[in-house]
Amino acid sequence: MVLWDPTGLSKEKLVLPLNYFFIIQHFDGEHSLAEIGALYLKRFGEFLVPSKMDQLVSDLNEKLFLEGQRTEDARRLAREAYRQSPLRRASFAGRGYEADGAKLKKQIDGFFASKEGPDFKLSEHAGKQIKGLVAPTYDLKQAGPIYAWAYKELHDAEQPDLFVIIGTASAGLDYVFAVTDKDFETPLGVVFADQPILSQLKAKLPIFFEDDLCHQAEQAIEFQLPFLQEVVGSKKPFTIVPILSSFSAASLGDPTVRQSVDQFLTGLREVLTQSGRAYCVIAAGELAHLGMRYGDKAPPTDFSFHRCMQFDLEMLKPVEERQSEEFANYIRKEQDQRRISGFSPIYSLLRLIEAESGQVLRYDRGITDQFNSTVTYASMAFF
């Protein structure tokens, strides 16, 4: 078992045997070390040597895997460094996509031209004002052609110069949304954040800027930017409003969460409307997560994947129809058994746009490990 920190605060990895994984599951602030030792004895039939427990705690603390003063100090310093930086650096260049600008341009063009891509046939919506897109956040090297289906619609449409990008915060948030006012660096140059919009939003809703550090380690927004730079930036300047989100369909039943979500989306929509500018909302998120990597007891089979695909496409029907609450209700009814990680950005998109049509363009999956664990994703466009 390998532990790593999805927030990026810790750069370390810690390899643990399965019996130690049992131990750390009880590092929840509710069990004493003595109680954990008793549970270990009951589970494995042997005593847990205190020195081994002490060493484990020390290792976890050293690597910033435990909440406490050391981790809080590291988080504070990281937040200060991020806020003092002139821009948000490209964190995934060379990993999720090409780090060299010329190679990245060629890579992006290849996604459009590939047999899985949209080719260069003119869209049926060509010339219409585009209101929104749904795109994956999966590794571009695998999912690039699916991104291309969404951005081909943008290529052929009447393009705004303002893009509100809402991505999944995979590591979670203290608040339901996290906005940053940083410009974003990519191998193709700098993408500028829309400071007038962001200044108004910060004045209205300052609490949602508190979690801005999470942008540093999240890929959802970064993976959209090379496409925007190639499709829009090659024609005219554009700006972005970068937002990460983290709430589930079930959590909307909590009045506190519902109030926070409504407060932010209502406030953001007011700021966008008052600006008088056309804008496009991009929801960056994935759909289902299947397999042992995500908590299932067995790997997915071809049959279970095809059932999942049927459920995914059925779930996206209310999204096509711009029915945000019906989308949430569908996931609640199935108790989110398929772990729809892109719910919050897609739901937010539906609350922010006024569109006459929505369409699923392409659907696919990625295999994440040797046990066939699977992530599904889709591209969509709204006009």
**The pLDDT of residue 68 is above 90:** no
d(CA 155, CA 35): 60
**Average pLDDT of the segment spanning 341-365:** 98
Q: pLDDT grade, residue 14 (50/70/90)?
A: confident
Q: What ranges do the domains of the chain cover?
A: 2-75, 103-382
pLDDT, residue 358, reads: 98
**Average pLDDT of the segment spanning 23-41:** 87
Check residues 18 and 98 and name the one with the higher pLDDT. 98
**Average pLDDT of the segment spanning 299-314:** 95
Q: Is 161 exposed, middle or buried (0-12, 13-18, 19+ CB in 10 A)?
A: middle
Distances (CA, A) of 264 to 176, 241, 250, 260: 9, 14, 18, 6
Summarize pLDDT for 127-153 with one digit per residue, the tens. Answer: 999 999 999 999 999 999 999 999 999
**Residue-averaged pLDDT of the chain:** 94
Summarize pLDDT for 208-266 with one digit per residue, the tens. Answer: 999 999 999 999 999 999 999 999 999 999 999 999 999 999 999 999 999 999 999 99
Choose the weakest-confidence range: 39-48, 81-90, 290-299, 337-346. Answer: 39-48
**The pLDDT of residue 2 is above 80:** no
**The pLDDT of residue 280 is above 80:** yes
Contact 233, 195 (CB under 8 A): no
pLDDT, residue 7, reads: 79
pLDDT, residue 20, reads: 83
Tokens of 261: 């979500």
3-state secondary structure the chain: CEEECCCCCCCCEEECCHHHHHHHCCCCCCCCHHHHHHHHHHHHCCCCCHHHHHHHHHHHHHCCCCCCHHHHHHHHHHHHHHHHCCEECCCCECCCECCCHHHHHHHHHHHHHCCCCCCCCCCCCCCCECCEEEECCCCHHHHHHHHHHHHHHHHHCECCCEEEEEEECCCCCCCCEEECCCEEEECCEEEEECHHHHHHHHHHCHHHHCCHHHHHHCCCCHHHHHHHHHHCCCCCCCEEEEEEECCCCHHHHCHHHHHHHHHHHHHHHHHHHHHCCCCEEEEECCCCEECHHHCCCCCCCHHHHHHHHHHHHHHCHHHHCCCHHHHHHHHHHCCCCCCCCCHHHHHHHHHHCCCCCEEEEEEEEEECCCCCCEEEEEEEEEC
Summarize pLDDT for 314-347 with one digit per residue, the tens. Answer: 999 999 999 999 999 999 999 999 999 999 999 9
Contact 136, 262 (CB under 8 A): no
Q: Which residue has the tokens 């892109």?
A: 342
Contact 146, 136 (CB under 8 A): yes
**The pLDDT of residue 307 is above 90:** yes
pLDDT, residue 92, reads: 95
Q: Which residue has the tokens 């999912």?
A: 143
pLDDT, residue 5, reads: 79
Summarize pLDDT for 160-210 with one digit per residue, the tens. Answer: 999 999 999 998 999 999 999 999 999 999 999 999 999 999 999 999 999
**The pLDDT of residue 289 is above 90:** yes
Q: Which CATH class is domain 103-382?
A: alpha beta
Stated length of the chain: 383
pLDDT > 90 in the chain, percent: 77
pLDDT, residue 79, reads: 86
pLDDT, residue 203, reads: 98
- What is the dihedral angle through the alpha carbons of 140, 142, 143, 145, rounded to the nearest 10 degrees? 100
**Average pLDDT of the segment spanning 43-52:** 85
**Average pLDDT of the segment spanning 79-90:** 92
